[in-house]
Chain A
Amino acid sequence: MEQLEPPQTGTRELADPLEIPDLAPGCMSASKPYAAAAEFQEALGYPGELVENWHDVAIAKMGELRGKYRSFRVFLDSCVKCGACTDKCHYFLGTGDPKNMPVARQDLLRQVYRRHFTLAGKFVPWLVGAKDLTTEVIDDWYSYFHQCSQCRRCSVFCPIGIDTAEISMAGREIMDSIGKGQKYSNEIIGKVHKIGNNLGLPAKALKATLADLEEEVLEDTGVPVRFPVDEAGADILLVTPSADFFAEPHIAGLIGYAKVFHQAGARWTISSYASEAANFGLFIGSYENMREIALRIRKAAIDLGVKRIVFGECGHAWRVAYSFLNTLAGSFDFLDQNYPIPQHICEYTNDLIEGGKLKFDKAKNDHIRLTFHDSCNVARGSSMGKTPGGQFEIPRAILRASCSHFYDMAPDTIRESTFCCGGGGGLLTDDLIELRKKGAQPRMRALQQVAEDHGVTHMAAICAICKAQFSKVLPMYGFDMEAIVSVHQMVSNAIILDPIGDGAQTGEN
């Protein structure tokens, strides 16, 4: 096998991904996403515009959350301001705005919580930094709770395990409850409730898209790899982010899953009713919206009579699936209990690799020198396989099986310490592009290092948001936009297909 010559190394001064910026107070206070219009708010059961008694409604909501979520109460009470988290957020590292330090972001809510729910805050607010809820505070909330991608990197470094994501989710839910929602997330959630996916792609269009894809793959490979939709009686329901139906490099990943299913001889299907793995209910901290979206998957599984549920490559979707699906939409006693419920496509593929059922021609990926971006929600909100840390090992095992040149980025920027891509948590919208660019900086610098040191040309990810975000920001940092690839794109490139799968599916229809 021919070894690629790595590009020139060691000549350029590279920026440290973890470099701590000087404080630049207020430099990001103008960064705000578009507000949700009344129709999008009301579709989710929120007021269409700022309610008249917003102050009291917000405080009441805060009291409600305090009773419903232990995280909210314990996290707001327990912070000692030790400072361990202050340099851990990618948005702080990329902007220097002190309100992007995790503890300072929490304090935006904590100051009001203290004023209304603690003795000290009621009687000596000046002493404990307690503040009344004013329009200025709400403005800060809207600005800075939409500069948190809920990636939970800070929580890994907190002695009490305080998770800023829980606080920014609560903040967004309080804002939704007074009529101050964010357009991007709320519009999308509405589409899922109504149509079944984030893109608003109706069943007919979905079927047409997949039929085209089937033809395309047949042309490319000469093998009839199928992309079934709504096939009752299939064994496996694949739930994948709708981006997989729509854009590169997502589609290349979807083709990868289909080829794996083909090789396994699996009878699988996509559901047009639950044609979305993503669940933006998480981002706005709404248990009810998250639950409603999750229940679509339950209904699809029952209606199609499947035995297993497999999730495609999507970071927060896998967090909701792995950590919450059983809670939100369980129990799943009607599915085959011999398999994890739900299962990640990487677990599925890796099991086949370990069982010797997939063969790869790694030379097909020899033009690629690869690294792996651990997506935050997979890394810090889920697991895979049977051993802790499987969410780190399994995707890497798949990449190593399908590609000869794999190099990890710096240890403090991957695995549980991974950096968010800069577009997670409901921030993947053009109105926040400046924030997205700055937030990507630590990851981009880590990538620059590994490109310099090992000649890495491509970065794989298992998250639709990461892939879309990187496609956009890679060029801003001097990389090719196609340098971001799906994990199952690597599988797709290298997998050796049998003309006909082992199973019965190919023979049908």
Chain B
Amino acid sequence: MLTGVYASLFYVATALLVGGLGFRIWEYARTPAPLKIPIPPAPTTRRGVVLRILRELVLFAAVFKANKWIWLFGWVFHAALLVVLLRHLRYFTEPVWEWVVVVQPFGVYAGFAMVAGLLGLWARRLLVARIRYISAPSDHLMLVLLIAIAASGLLMKYVAPTDIVALKSFFLGLILFDWQPIPRDPVLLVHLGLVAALMIVFPFSKLLHAPGLFFSPTLNQVDNPRERRHLANWARELEIGRN
């Protein structure tokens, strides 16, 4: 019964995450950007645009320029999250990929770094008047959700370990449509429930900043308006009958 609930939950969560995100990306892609609005430093080549987006994606360059604290907490959280996610690949692959094994030992420290980054961001959201002003309940809740996911994960690592072999066969079973029983540890069930919740809200929340970064016209446009005419389809229609 419990296995069935969690199996269905993850199928639904995955479908919503992939489908929802796919739908958003499709929406963004088909919505025209009728004018050239890159912000400086604006690259003049496609290659330059790729480098610029990579710089924002990897280094958070704009935030670094804006505010060192936000940068520190934000960057540490995101980088740690990435390592933690990569580490978790071992529960979904058999045999475990070589490089995932290499990442493995860093993953544990990353868990702590992730919590530290999130707490820093939350502290700013609570303590800095400007940021408190712009925060809706959902902004706090999102941080609580992420902190709870990370904390429950660390709890399993250090305090209440679960049957990791059984857990892995549960997930491999999900992938192969050959369901295996899920371990009945409360901390694990909370951890997985929260992760599924995160997956479900992703396409309906501000987590859309992830695809947004790639579709932001101020970042992804080449600064060459004088060299190449840029025209949206709906704008082309205005030209019918023009000299």
Contacts and interface: CB of A to CB of B under 8 A. Distances in A.
23 contacts: A68-B32, A74-B215, A74-B216, A74-B217, A78-B213, A79-B206, A83-B124, A84-B62, A87-B130, A119-B204, A159-B209, A160-B213, A160-B216, A160-B219, A166-B37, A287-B34, A291-B235, A302-B243, A324-B35, A324-B36, A327-B35, A415-B40, A417-B65
Nearest to A106: B134
Nearest to A391: B40
A388 B41 contact: yes
Given A79-B206, A388-B44, A288 B31 contact: no
B42 A84 contact: no
A288 B134 contact: no
A503 interface: no
Interface stretch (A123-131, A244-252, A268-276, A445-453): A123-131
Interface in A61-103: 66-71, 73-75, 77-88, 98, 101, 103
A67 B30 CA distance: 9
B97 interface: no
Nearest to B52: A161
Nearest to A163: B218
Contacts of B235: 287, 291, 327
Given A156-B39, A323-B37, A23 B31 contact: no
Nearest to A120: B204
Contact of A161 (B62, B74, B128): B62
Contacts of B209: 77-80, 159-160
B62 A158 contact: yes
B133 interface: yes
A373 B44 CA distance: 25
Nearest to B201: A120
B167 interface: no
A70 B217 contact: yes
A326 interface: yes
A77 B63 contact: no
Interface of A: 20, 22-23, 66-71, 73-75, 77-88, 98, 101, 103-104, 107, 118-120, 126-129, 152, 155-163, 166, 287-288, 291, 295, 298-299, 302, 322-324, 326-327, 330-331, 340-342, 379-381, 383, 388-389, 391, 415-417
Given A71-B37, A159-B63, 20 more contacts: A22-B129, A71-B217, A73-B28, A74-B215, A77-B24, A78-B216, A79-B209, A83-B128, A84-B70, A128-B136, A128-B138, A156-B40, A287-B34, A295-B242, A323-B35, A323-B37, A326-B225, A383-B40, A389-B40, A416-B39
Contacts of B70: 82-84
Contact of A152 (B35, B39, B44, B215): B39
Closest 8 CB pairs between A and B?
Answer: A78-B212, A129-B136, A157-B66, A161-B218, A84-B66, A83-B131, A161-B219, A86-B130
Interface stretch (B100-108, B168-176, B181-189, B226-234): B226-234
Contacts of B205: 120, 128
A341 B225 contact: no
Nearest to A83: B131
Contacts of A67: 31
B163 to A, nearest CB: 36
Nearest to A20: B130
B138 A104 contact: no
Contacts of B65: 156-157, 417
B127 to A, nearest CB: 11
A295 B239 CA distance: 11
A147 B24 CA distance: 32
Given A67-B31, A127-B138, A416-B41, A23 B129 contact: yes
A327 B41 contact: no
Contacts of B229: 326-327, 330-331
Contacts of B213: 78, 159-161
Contact of B130 (A98, A129, A299, A324): A98
Contact of A77 (B36, B208, B231): B208
A291 B237 CA distance: 13
A327 B34 contact: yes
B33 A327 contact: no
A162 B216 contact: yes
B5 interface: no
A342 B217 CA distance: 23
A107 B131 CA distance: 13
A133 B235 CA distance: 29
A81 B132 CA distance: 10
Contacts of A152: 39
Nearest to B210: A78
